[in-house]
Amino acid sequence: MMSNRADRAFTLLELMASIVIILILVATVYPALEKATPRAEKVACMSNLKNLRVLFDTYALEGWPQVPKETPLGSIAEQKWWLEKTKKDLGLSEKNWECPTLRRLFRSEPEAQRPLIHYLPTPFSNQPNKANQWPQMPWFIEIGNGHGCGNLIVRQNGTVEPAPR
């Protein structure tokens, strides 16, 4: 016996029930996804800090770069200097210096007020291996408390943690 097309189609009630079930699933999963985004951004930020630490190991062995004396520490001029220096020496781009959380938080700021890099290197002596002589000294510190646990720092051994308050 042949069936007609009406026997194979969904009824309006079945379609509505399916949509309701999908909406319930989305409503239960969405809060978990909202919480996962900040955690994923923090992990990406920590990874950036660790990568910078590894890349700067050459500087630690050969002599830490010295920011020009006329350049104020923490200023946009210092940030530009680090960007240019590491682009030339290490092939880094602005992306390597960027925390996803801070990028999102600074998005609403005027471009002139946004920082160029989100991690500032610690000023060390330019003597070879001097940075390795201070294992508790952070090599980089995040410029903002975007993760809610304090500014993240990375130490000489590669551990990333919130800066002591």
Nearest to 122 by CA among 113, 107, 134: 134
Mean pLDDT of 133-157: 91
The domain segmentation of the chain, as residue ranges, is 10-162
pLDDT of the residue at 82: 96
Q: What percent of the chain has pLDDT over 90?
A: 58
Written as six digits, the tokens of 26 are: 């989305």
DSSP one-letter code for 122:
P
Contact 146, 46 (CB under 8 A): no
Answer whether 0.75 is exceeded by the pTM: yes
DSSP one-letter code for 72:
P
Q: pLDDT tens, 12-51? A: 888 899 999 999 998 888 888 788 888 899 999 999 999 9
Q: pLDDT tens, 59-111? A: 989 999 999 999 999 899 999 999 999 999 999 999 999 999 999 999 888 98
Residue 2 predicted with pLDDT over 60: no
Q: pLDDT tens, 48-61? A: 999 999 999 989 89
pLDDT of the residue at 164: 85
Would you mind telling me the total number of residues written for the chain in this entry?
A: 165
